[in-house]
Structure 1
Amino acid sequence: MRAGLVVHPGSGSGAAARVADTVAARLRPVVDELHVGTGPASGLDLLVVLGGDGAVHHAVRYCAAHGVPLGLLPAGNGNDLARALDLPLDPLGALEVLLTALREGRRRRLDLGSAGDAWFATVLCAGFDAAVARRAHALRWPRGPRRYDVAVLAELARFRSHPVAVRTEHERFELDATLVAVGNTAYYGGGIPICPSARPDDGLFDVTLVGRASRANLVRLLPKLRAGAHLRHPAVRTLRAREVRIEGIGGTALPLVVDGEPLPAGPVTVRCVPGALTVVA
């Protein structure tokens, strides 16, 4: 087995860099060849990523495009894919799971979302939550989940809903939307279960839509998100679909984010691709 270990040393305020040598030393005895770097080598049979959600997103795209299995060692502030897969949220704990899976030959096939040429493993979001994620991505302080909270407060000041058309293989409707979240898995934003019932192996997206809400109502709704209690709010609607198109009405260009990474604003069509990713776990 020719394996690559991709290390993002800045992830988790340096957490990835601190354990990189230990991870490499533990991996070498169970693979035939190990390449360590900040990007994947060619001709790999396994790609192990040691980093945060951004690093995982890029590793997922590489693995899906090249048919390479993924090993996941979360070392960031969010770790949303690892959380969805019930992996330990520290890199050395996840390493033990990975080593056991390698020795026993265990693999898991996961669905992925496809948005044009962009693959995603967790959630695509449009609207308010995408604007928050973009701002959080740009912030350098504070670290961890509090960065998301700061971004929320900043975006509330400029908040407004957007007229949006949503189309699935079953229906089409229009609404004034605060946010639209298309979940292959449940979590985004460092553990917020925006699509609580989403599973990455059922061939379907879970979609959460939040309609028109005043700034005051949104402030009251946001704490419910972290508890997964937002689905009972009257402004919230959920559905399941294999394909979803989201388009602003009247020339509105919606901000978009996948796996916490910004996409160009505008209309987007996303498709669930069953079994598109193999994870060693």
Structure 2
Amino acid sequence: MTASTPAGTVHAVTAADQPSGGPLPVGPVAVLANPTAGRGRHRDLLPQLLERLAAAGRPVRLLTADSPARAEAACHEAVTAGVGALVAVGGDGTVHRALQAVAGTAVPFGPVPAGTGNDFVGDTGFPADPLAAAEVIAAALREGRSRPVDLASMTGPGGVRRWYGAVLAAGFDAVVNERANRMRWPRGPRRYDLAILVELARLRPRRYTLRLDGQPHEVDAVLVAVGNCASYGGGMRICPDADPSDGLLDVVVGGRFDRRTLMRVKPRIYAGSHVTHPLVRSYRARTVELTAEGITTYADGERSLGLPVRITAMPGALRLLR
């Protein structure tokens, strides 16, 4: 049976604990758009998206960037310059870059889904259609409303701090991503498929040390995920009970799977039914400390910090234009 075991005494954060949204800042709307998101299939929609956002009655400023690092820097510069809102048009990676700038600030944020995976958008209640999402954001701007949602703050070696909105992967999926990113051939999705085959052949449980609200757990596992939201990888509900408004993180650990069992269980992640497997354990905590050898984490699908990391649920850290 799955063990849904709280780590220590944890109290859920209620709406009364959440900070008040308050009036929206004045100023233009900055838009970060990734033209390559979703293999470029929504690229032609950008003029319509900007038009819908402009219907809120504010100037709209398109940020320019030629790399993910530059995109993140452009978001920071826009927030520092005093924009009234930040909108990200793209997938989870684009959202992840924008979150680094608005997390913990009064600048509200709106995500427009235009990527291959749009997990944060879906798990926070935005429409899957980009134009419909832009209209929701414009209406919130026009009516001066936002709602607070949680983010996860993680601190790695050397005190480096990052934020994420959806899920941190620190197991087999992170290892596969790391392998695929090192490969130069083949191009496209086949590279990821080949990386899966290579890492399946090398599959072995790793020893993880988890500290959940200060309580230590030693586990041998092949899958470890820490979710602020439920989904990653384009709809895989790895942490199916995660709620980005409860002030807590959901931790899902897949234990000593062999290759055959892992491949049988993996499709069940889309429905979230994998958590009933006897080798899967679930926990909930406000703070998660995670240690293992040789793991680089992936947060919101983006390469992130190497272990060890400390992850903390930050209630109401983001003002969402919805």
Instruction: Check whether TM > 0.5.
Output: yes
Structure 1: gaps (5+ residues): none
* Identity between Structure 1 and Structure 2 (%): 43
Structure 1 counterpart of 2:286, which letter? Answer: R
Residue 111 of structure 1 corresponds to 150
| 1:202-226 CA distance string (max 9 Å, x none) | 0001110111111111111111111
| 1:85 alignment partner AA | T
Distance change (3 Å), C-alpha of 1:138 and 1:86: farther
Equivalence for 1:236: 280
**CA distance change for structure 1 residues 137 and 229 in 2, over 3 Å: closer, same or farther?**
farther
Relative to 1, partners in 2 of residues 1:275 and 1:66: Cα closer, same or farther, differing over 3 Å?
closer
Please tell me whether residue 141 in structure 1 is matched to residue 180 in structure 2.
Answer: no
Contact in 1 for aligned 2:237/2:272 (Cα 8 Å) = yes
Which whole-Å CA distance do the structure 2 matches of 1:58 and 1:177 have between them? 29
Equivalent residue for 1:276? Answer: 317
Preserved contact between residue 105 and residue 318 of structure 2 (Cα < 8 Å): no
1: distance between equivalents of 2:180 and 2:41? 19
Match for residue 178 of structure 1? 222
Q: How large is the RMSD of aligned CA atoms in angstroms? A: 2.0
Instruction: Quote how far apart the aligned CAs of 1:279 are.
Output: 0.7
1:81–1:121: 8 Å Cα contact kept in structure 2? yes
Task: For residues 153-189 of structure 1, give each alpha carbon's deviation from its aligned partner in whole angstroms, at most 9, with x where no partner exists.
Answer: 4431222210111111152111111121110000001
Pick one of 47, 53, 57 that aligns with 1:21. Answer: 47
Aligned partner of 2:295 among 254, 265, 270: 254
After superposition, residues 218-229 of structure 1 pair within 5 angstroms as 218-229=262-273
C-alpha distance in structure 2 between counterparts of 1:64 and 1:235, whole Å: 35
Residue 133 of structure 2: aligned partner = 94
Contact 2:169 2:225 in 1 (8 A): yes
Counterparts of 2:273 and 2:164 in 1: how far apart (Å)?
Answer: 25
State the shift of 1:43 in Å: 1.4
| Residue of structure 1 in register with 2:260 after alignment | 216
Q: Aligned residue pairs: how many?
A: 275
Q: Structure 2: which 5+ residue stretches go unaligned?
A: 1-26, 65-73, 156-160
Distance in 2, matches of 1:133 and 1:279, equals 29
Higher relative contact order (CA 8 A, sep 6+): 2
Q: Summarize deviations over 1:207-266 as a string: whole Å, max 9, x none.
A: 101111111111111111112110111110001000011112xxx222311111112322
